[in-house]
């Protein structure tokens, strides 16, 4: 699956080992693990089959964002969009669920 980022800091968080964006080490590790799972997925159905993601749709419409559990009350907010050839995950935000 292709990936786009709404924010440069989320892109940097994935690739820069020294950057934490003010998040705990556990949340950063979980974020990087989720990014590997998203990139390896064929589409939304593959992600939905991974129960460990604890995916939730944020709204009723098909194009609404979904959230994925990161741990420590944090969730990754992702919007999926379909191109002609494949789906793209747009990484939107990391939010504290408290």
Q: What pLDDT, on the 0 to 100 scale, is given for residue 61?
A: 62
CATH 3.30.450.20 is right for the domain spanning 2-96: no
Angle, helices 8-15/25-40, rounded to nearest 10 degrees: 90
| 3-state SS class at 55 | coil
Residue with the bigger pLDDT between 49 and 77: it is: 77
CA within 13 Å, CB half, 63: 3
What's the sign of the alpha-carbon dihedral 86, 51, 17, 13?
A: positive
How far is it, in rounded angstroms, from Cα 33 to Cα 15? 12
Could you tell me the pLDDT band of residue 9, with boundaries at 50, 70 and 90? very high
Q: Looking at the predicted structure, is the pLDDT value of residue 53 above 80?
A: no
Global pTM?
0.86
């Amino acid at each position: 699956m292709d990936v786009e980022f709404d924010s440069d800091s989320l892109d940097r968080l994935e690739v820069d080992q020294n950057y934490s964006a003010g998040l705990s080490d556990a949340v950063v590790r979980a974020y990087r693990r989720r990014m590997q799972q998203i990139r390896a997925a064929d589409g939304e159905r593959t992600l939905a089959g991974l129960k460990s993601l604890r995916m939730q749709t944020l709204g009723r419409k098909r194009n609404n964002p979904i959230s994925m559990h990161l741990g420590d009350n944090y969730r990754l907010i992702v919007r999926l969009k379909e191109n002609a050839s494949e789906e793209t995950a747009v990484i939107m935000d990391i939010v504290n669920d408290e």
